[in-house]
Structure 1
Amino acid sequence: MNRWSGRLTGAATAVALVGALTAGALPGGAASASGQLRDYLVFYSDGARDRAVAAIEAGGGTALSTEPRLGYVIATGPGDRFVEGLAGSDAVAGVSSNRKIGSATALPATASAGRVSAPDVRQAPLPRGAEPLSRGAEPLAGRQWDMKMIGATVDGSYATAPGSKKVLVGVIDTGVDGRHPDIAPNFNRALSRNFVTDMPKDSKGVVFDGPCEFKGCKDPVDWDDDGHGTHVASTIGSPINGLGIAGVAPRVSLVNLRAGQDAGLFFLKPSLDALTYAGDVGIDVVNMSYYVDPWLFNCKANPADSKAEQLEQRGVITGMQRALDYARKRGVTLISALGNDLNDLGKPKVDSISPDYPDDSVRVRKVDNSCVNVPAESRGVISVSALGKSGRKAYYSDYGVEQTDLSAPGGDEYDGTGKPDSTRSILAAAPEHVLRAQGLIAGDGRTKGSSAVRDCRNGTCAYYQYLAGTSMASPHAAGVAAILISRFGKPRKDGVGMRPADVERLLYATATKKPCPSPRKHVYLIEDQKFTQTCEGSRSRNGFYGRGVVNAAKAATVKR
């Protein structure tokens, strides 16, 4: 089951959203309040733990446990009135419900099931525009226009800097299929963790994750029921093994730090746990291809929100920043997808998809630049916009001069013609059981449609899928970061390490500068509709491309 809250999910939805933007039509709804007992994360001010606990108890709540590393108390309390009471205490920095708070940022390809079965790729002609294979390239490398764009090829970065097993790349996502033949050789099962318990239904009895596949609703660390995390991991580090594709850094170690539900949604505490764990065990880079909500934009003091809602948003901002700081201080380079909502994050005006849980809570509210998208706009995070095959910013990708740090291939089905073509998206590994559930695999094992691909070698077959999104862009940057750490990291007892500030500096130094388009007001064509996004800034840093397009080939040769 996939639920891309607030995200575009194919041609029809994309056209509908563009139409809504141009016509000024926005969905609305009434927020609901509840006084029933709930679980909360209460973030306390520095040195104020005891006073925060006292405030919890005074408000009719119960403190259950404390997390001193990030400064919060897990508590239960009677709904919004309880939270509003905490707002009056200077010991409380923020409060967040211990519930779903995020959505993965990928766009499934529109060309999918229902088409005539296609033969295996090795017997089929490559798609139009695919590159001829170089000597020694992986069988599906001709479909990887993204790797060619950043110089991650057999005659590029693979030849001199394919990465090191000692470099640990954490994938904070929906899980990683560690049994996939094109991931397994680089998958670190020992360090991987699942911080999530599946929820078959939500609090209202509506199907959420669906039936549990494993005892206790706890999936193994090498399992992914969504496919999003597997795709991300594959882009970062699928090995060179004569099967399928290769990732940006094909010799690094991939670590599953699962924080997302099967439904593609995220809860706050698993996100905090994943980042804390990454800092404690020596992870070098984490990729975060999701945003933290139930608020797309988190505002500390928005007049449009109740006191309880303001405190909840302060909790998201505060809690995630503490976790990010904790990880970064321990050597973790933090990389995030920028988001797929077509927003200039420096000039937000309306949030029409929050709060997105429960579903009937959505309403339209005004926002401004004091409101932030988390973690993309959190301190210490490198945020990445998405590019299409032509090199232009993808139509869906968020942007902003202050917010865009780098850009990377993320795919854009409409790039060039305005008509959908799944092969303009990013191809990477997919769990077989997920594609079967989506109806993309026929009874004989062959794939159906153009959005899924099978490759076989010596009796072993593996499956791949085209996806697009800033979710697909940020792992390219994470892979390049892993290349830099492989080259310049200093040995330590648990592998190698490199200061995140140094990784960031070299990522920017090796990026290919890309100026704003001319004219700066760029017109996008989606089906038969047009809309405009304006790029601001200079060649060295602008709202569409940040400090440039990540470049694996330069990262493989740059001198420190």
Structure 2
Amino acid sequence: MRRTVARIGLVAVLALSVSVAAATAPPASADDNVGLVSSARSDAGLMNYAINLDPNVGESEMASAADLIPSVGGVLLTSYPQLGTLFAQSESASFAPDLADALAKAGVSVHSIGPTRVAAVPESERAVGGATPAAPAADPAAAPAEDGPVADVPAAEASDVPTVTTPDPNSRVGSARSNWGAEAMDARGAAEVAVTRAPVTVGIIDTGIDDTQPDLVGRVDTARSVSCAVNGVPNQAEDARRFSREHGTHVAGVIAANHNDIGIDGIAPEATLVSIKALNESDLLYPEALVCAYEWATTHQVDIVHNSYQMDPWVYWSPTDPEQAAALEAAERAIHRAQSSGLAVIAGAGDRGVDIDHPTTDSDSPTDSTPIPNRSVEGGRMVPAQVSGVVTVSSVGMEDWNAEPIRATLMRAERSNYGASVDFAAPGEWIYSTYPNGRIPQIYGYTSGTSTAAAHVSGVAALVKSVHPTLPGAQIIRIMRKQAAYEYGRLKAPSDGAEYRGYGFLDARSAMVRDQASPVIRAVEYREGEGEWTSLSGAVLPAEVVQMRVEASAPVSYMNLDIPGMIAVSTDREDGYDAEPMLLEADEMDLRQVIPDGQEYVSLTAVVFAEGLNYDRFADDDATTETTFTVARDPKAVPAPQPAPDPGMTLFPASPSPRASSRPTCRCTSCPPTTL
């Protein structure tokens, strides 16, 4: 027997959709091996399915599941043992419940099985015997509509797709600088910082990138690029991964366009880009493609994932709806694995002008079929924007389009989503960036949307990673949150209660000079002759010749040990962020002349200074420590130091006033007056 869960409150409406599940679910079963499984469909049609086993399954259970798929009329598309997830294609209307039954009989625990879409899989994507047809080649000469969104794009995403319209030069927007987003974030200032930058790779999950665009030459690693657009099966053939729309090339320019005095400046011009084409020819990002994309990024040395689009066909995905739960679970498993592998994931908040944290109804889904009006979506979530740990970005424009971008007050774009889930606000209105070669007479164009805003943040994330290469994505995000607060004041407070600011606004130059990785200076040590190395801190040394040493861990380029009036030694090198610790040694340190006449001992301080790998004068990556020690003619004659006070001791008598005693004692000369 199988256990299924019927859709609640949607049956009547879904019956009007194409190839939607039957209204009545079979009776539930108490079989603990079966989880949330979609019902048999109302009619047969080619469909892709997400199959999630228990997350802790082993290789044998995954193999059993793969072997059982053909027995119930399916074809295995992809298998992800590390996720406990498989994708399959079938024309059988009862594929999901039939597979659940077969797995239960085999003793394989099932978390969820369900379709990845509403519309039937097109015949061009039919998988035969486990092989998926290659994606149809894009026509590079096909031009988008003259004054609107690219053709065939769902209305829900139209606001986030590039247009070829050039702003009216007489309008306030047209008078703005073409590269205002990069100027507002001071991308040029960041590029001018003299700092050692580690290699960083940004994976762009989008429509593909034209790597021949002049501003992107040398930025795209085609050997690591891929298409996941057809059935979520990775395909590195050139025709497959060729861009299908301008969007991926546009956000690639925002992130990493070369600073070559042509076109535009990217935020992180030294970053390497990996193109992960995941949207199909209808600009839909299906779950199987999204999972493929994140798994590709996880296994191909990507550091930052930029995700422009939300997962189709549901704007808000329900974890309890059997028609949606399996695909949602598969996507979240893939995203969480990427995060746990050290990747930072960044996505736009969406462009419907709504509070994404308190959804009630949705009339834009499914995006691949006739949308259901006023669909209840309470408890649903957008993917990836609302997956835990994902950086979510709202879009802003300049309040005054004639202002200097680097000083301008910024305000939420009218169509940008908002809410407590938002982490950062970034430029997303009328952003000028790269277009593919041969598409239009000008290979640059404008677009607006939170995907463009997220691209700015992805660029900053790449900069932060380049100077913190050993930190995982979660810590990179933590640094970015701290830095965004520095520029929080540039964001105009919402007058309508639509909070969009998150942690604030990121400045690219600040990312390169503030909160930098610094050397860690270890304890200064000394020894006499060939004796044991001993900590110098608080030690009493004889007035003889001794040796001293100190280490500093990377990143470090220079280190100096100075005992004022006595000795100064230094050393330097530049081996990168993961080099071995730098060792500084003073082999012959003569202490015989340091004690003044008439004294038996003297207290000295050893000062250690270590420079990091950032040579900008405003960088905060240097470190200093001081170690106090004593040199004595007779070390045994030096009085023992007084012990530190017990932390629990009361140093000052309690105030006689009960009211005053509740306040801390102030001993400074600038304390504010206390009103009693």
TM-score over 0.5 for the pair: yes
Matches within 5 A, 1:312-331: 312-331=323-342
User: Aligned residue for 2:384?
Assistant: 375
Matches within 5 A, 1:498-509: 498-509=471-482
User: Aligned residue for 1:483?
Assistant: 463
User: Aligned residue for 2:227?
Assistant: 194
Question: Helix, strand or coil: the match of 1:143?
Answer: coil
Asked if 1:183 is matched to 2:216, the reply is yes
User: Aligned residue for 1:68?
Assistant: 81
Please report how far the alpha carbon of residue 178 of structure 1 lies from its aligned counterpart in structure 2 after TM superposition.
0.3
Aligned partners of 1:58, 1:178: CA distance in 2, in Å? 40
User: Aligned residue for 1:135?
Assistant: none
Counterpart amino acid of residue 191 in structure 2: Y
Aligned partners of 2:304, 2:494: CA distance in 1, in Å? 37
User: Aligned residue for 2:178?
Assistant: 143
Counterparts in 2 of 1:166 and 1:96: CA distance versus 1, 3 Å: farther
Counterparts in 2 of 1:223 and 1:519: CA distance versus 1, 3 Å: closer
Deviation digits for residues 198-234 of structure 1 (CA, Å, limit 9, x no counterpart):
99xxxxxxxxxxxxxxxx9965477323000000110
Aligned partners of 1:54, 1:108: CA distance in 2, in Å? 38
Please report how far the alpha carbon of residue 264 of structure 1 lies from its aligned counterpart in structure 2 after TM superposition.
2.0
Contact 1:230 1:429 survives alignment (8 Å): yes
Matches within 5 A, 1:524-539: 534-535=497-498
Asked if 1:277 is matched to 2:293, the reply is no
Contact 1:106 1:228 survives alignment (8 Å): no
Deviation digits for residues 135-182 of structure 1 (CA, Å, limit 9, x no counterpart):
xxxxxxx421111222222xx212117995721111111000001011
Asked if 1:91 is matched to 2:126, the reply is no
Q: 1:31 aligns with which of 17, 30, 33?
A: 17
User: Aligned residue for 1:433?
Assistant: 438
Contact 1:157 1:553 survives alignment (8 Å): yes
Counterparts in 2 of 1:28 and 1:395: CA distance versus 1, 3 Å: farther
Q: Which runs of 5+ in 2 are unaligned?
A: 1-12, 20-42, 120-153, 400-409, 517-676
Aligned partners of 1:198, 1:79: CA distance in 2, in Å? 17
Counterparts in 2 of 1:518 and 1:163: CA distance versus 1, 3 Å: same
Contact 1:170 1:287 survives alignment (8 Å): yes
Q: 1:293 aligns with which of 312, 322, 344?
A: 312
Question: Helix, strand or coil: the match of 1:175?
Answer: coil
Counterparts in 2 of 1:187 and 1:317: CA distance versus 1, 3 Å: same
Q: 2:488 aligns with which of 513, 529, 532?
A: 513
User: Aligned residue for 2:514?
Assistant: 558
Aligned partners of 2:14, 2:491: CA distance in 1, in Å? 34
Aligned partners of 1:105, 1:339: CA distance in 2, in Å? 11
Please report how far the alpha carbon of residue 271 of structure 1 lies from its aligned counterpart in structure 2 after TM superposition.
1.7
Matches within 5 A, 1:3-22: none
Q: 1:112 aligns with which of 165, 177, 182?
A: 165
TM-score of the pair, normalised by structure 1: 0.68
Question: Helix, strand or coil: the match of 2:356?
Answer: coil
User: Aligned residue for 1:41?
Assistant: 50
Please report how far the alpha carbon of residue 339 of structure 1 lies from its aligned counterpart in structure 2 after TM superposition.
0.6
Please report how far the alpha carbon of residue 324 of structure 1 lies from its aligned counterpart in structure 2 after TM superposition.
1.0
Asked if 1:469 is matched to 2:449, the reply is yes
More helix by share: 1
Contact 1:174 1:224 survives alignment (8 Å): yes
Please report how far the alpha carbon of residue 392 of structure 1 lies from its aligned counterpart in structure 2 after TM superposition.
0.8
User: Aligned residue for 2:263?
Assistant: 244
Counterpart amino acid of residue 513 in structure 1: Y
Asked if 1:172 is matched to 2:205, the reply is yes
Counterparts in 2 of 1:62 and 1:188: CA distance versus 1, 3 Å: closer
Aligned residue pairs total 423
User: Aligned residue for 1:336?
Assistant: 347
Deviation digits for residues 254-284 of structure 1 (CA, Å, limit 9, x no counterpart):
1111111243222322221221121112111
Please report how far the alpha carbon of residue 68 of structure 1 lies from its aligned counterpart in structure 2 after TM superposition.
0.5
Aligned partners of 1:243, 1:125: CA distance in 2, in Å? 24
Please report how far the alpha carbon of residue 46 of structure 1 lies from its aligned counterpart in structure 2 after TM superposition.
2.6
Counterpart amino acid of residue 431 in structure 1: P
Contact 1:226 1:263 survives alignment (8 Å): no
Contact 2:210 2:249 survives alignment (8 Å): yes
Please report how far the alpha carbon of residue 43 of structure 1 lies from its aligned counterpart in structure 2 after TM superposition.
1.2
The higher radius of gyration belongs to 2
User: Aligned residue for 1:3?
Assistant: none
Aligned partners of 2:51, 2:17: CA distance in 1, in Å? 22
Counterpart amino acid of residue 466 in structure 1: Y
Asked if 1:548 is matched to 2:504, the reply is yes
Counterparts in 2 of 1:513 and 1:125: CA distance versus 1, 3 Å: closer
Counterparts in 2 of 1:251 and 1:72: CA distance versus 1, 3 Å: same
Counterpart amino acid of residue 514 in structure 2: V
Identity %: 26
TM-score of the pair, normalised by structure 2: 0.57
Counterpart amino acid of residue 202 in structure 2: V
Question: Helix, strand or coil: the match of 1:291?
Answer: coil
Deviation digits for residues 419-478 of structure 1 (CA, Å, limit 9, x no counterpart):
xxxxxx00000013333xxxxx3xxxxxxxxxxxx4xxxxxxxx1010000010001000
Contact 1:198 1:262 survives alignment (8 Å): no
Contact 1:60 1:78 survives alignment (8 Å): no
Deviation digits for residues 466-496 of structure 1 (CA, Å, limit 9, x no counterpart):
0000010001000001101111213xxxxxx
Aligned partners of 1:105, 1:57: CA distance in 2, in Å? 37
User: Aligned residue for 1:230?
Assistant: 249
Please report how far the alpha carbon of residue 100 of structure 1 lies from its aligned counterpart in structure 2 after TM superposition.
8.5
Contact 1:406 1:546 survives alignment (8 Å): yes
Question: Helix, strand or coil: the match of 2:165?
Answer: coil
Counterparts in 2 of 1:520 and 1:229: CA distance versus 1, 3 Å: same
Question: Helix, strand or coil: the match of 1:556?
Answer: helix
Q: 2:375 aligns with which of 365, 374, 397?
A: 365
Deviation digits for residues 361-415 of structure 1 (CA, Å, limit 9, x no counterpart):
54431121x11000000122111111112211111111111x111110110xxxx
Question: Helix, strand or coil: the match of 2:488?
Answer: coil
Aligned partners of 1:469, 1:318: CA distance in 2, in Å? 27
Counterpart amino acid of residue 32 in structure 1: V
Please report how far the alpha carbon of residue 58 of structure 1 lies from its aligned counterpart in structure 2 after TM superposition.
11
